[in-house]
Structure 1
Amino acid sequence: MTPPTLVRASLNGLCPRCGAKSLFRGPVALARYCSGCGLDFDALDVGDGPAVFLILIVGTIIVVAAVVVDLTYAPAWWVHLVWLPVAILLTMIGLRFGKAILAYQSFRHDSGEGRLVK
């Protein structure tokens, strides 16, 4: 079986080695290993990279949208409560996609902990 492409693996949560749909065990939590080929996903250190970028990106989108809506329509205060579920949805989608991209790249480039060469 040929390994999936970056885009296909990221959008569908596929294992970077075999292409099985086993990268996630929950909405944004990575599985421990692939049920298809046994690849250890714990070794693919995704870290907090996607979360850091999403805080900045989603925060900017939500704040700009809220300010534009407020200045354009001047709605009641409770209308702005819609931004909370929108922010949560954007973050969940972005985290899933970001973690899948980093896991794929980590596997493809055989990345690991930094080490000094003597």
Structure 2
Amino acid sequence: MSPQPQSNDLAPARIDPIRAGLLCRCPRCGRGALFEGFLRVPARCAECGLDLKAIETGDGPATFIMQIAGFLVGFSALATEIALHPPIWLHLLIWPPLVAALSLGLMRPGKGLMIALHYRSRSA
């Protein structure tokens, strides 16, 4: 049996930047954290040194997330109103917290995805 090569002897593995972005990891190496705090992007990847500040997403992630959350909650609220006719206070109790939770929950993966798409299109 031949000895197993050391990890630094291997060629860099192909990382799917889309998967890495959704997991909030560096789109080049897939190991480094993509965020410091909630949405702040570090200047460089701690693992591979990729310049993350050069990848600018602007307001794209927030726009897409608001549209997705707004559609899901708006459609659900309309379907609930048509089917069940609940009182307005119940709508106000259910839907605003749901849209806030969806928006906050999808924001990191959404921004990670936009960074990964920008990295992939720039490096292709």
Instruction: Provide the residue aligned with 1:91 in structure 2.
Output: 103
Check conservation: 2:18, 2:117, Cα contact below 8 A: no
Q: CA deviation at 1:3?
A: 4.3
Indicate yes or no: 2:117 matched with 1:105: yes
Q: TM-score, normalised by structure 2?
A: 0.74
> Which 4+ stretches in 1 moved above 3 angstroms?
none
RMSD value over aligned CA atoms? 2.1
1:58 to 41, 48, 69: 69
Distance (whole Å) between structure 1 residues aligned to residue 88 and residue 37 of structure 2: 34
1:8-87 aligned at under 5 Å gives the runs 8-80=19-91, 81-87=93-99
Q: Secondary structure at the match of 2:65?
A: helix
C-alpha displacement of 1:31: 2.8
Question: 1:89, 1:79 → 2: CA distance?
Answer: 17
Count the aligned residue pairs: 111
Show CA shifts across 1:61-102 (max 9, x none): 211111211222222322222212211222123322221122
CA distance in 1, matches of 2:84, 2:25: 43
TM-score by length of 1: 0.77
Computing the radius of gyration over CA atoms, which structure comes out larger, 1 or 2?
2
8 Å CA contact 2:17–2:120 kept in 1: the answer is no
Tell me if the contact between 1:12 and 1:21 (Cα under 8 Å) persists in the aligned partners: no
Q: Which runs of 5+ in 2 are unaligned?
A: 1-11
Instruction: Go from structure 1 to structure 2 and tell me whether the alpha carbon gap of 1:93 and 1:6 turns closer, same or farther (over 3 Å shift).
Output: farther
Would the alpha carbon gap of residues 92 and 63 (structure 1) be closer, same or farther in structure 2, given more than 3 Å must change? same
**1:37 corresponds to which letter in structure 2?**
C
CA distance in 2: counterparts of 1:54 and 1:32, whole angstroms: 24
Q: By how many angstroms is 1:9 displaced? A: 0.5
**Which segments of 5 or more consecutive residues in structure 1 lack a partner in the other structure?**
112-118
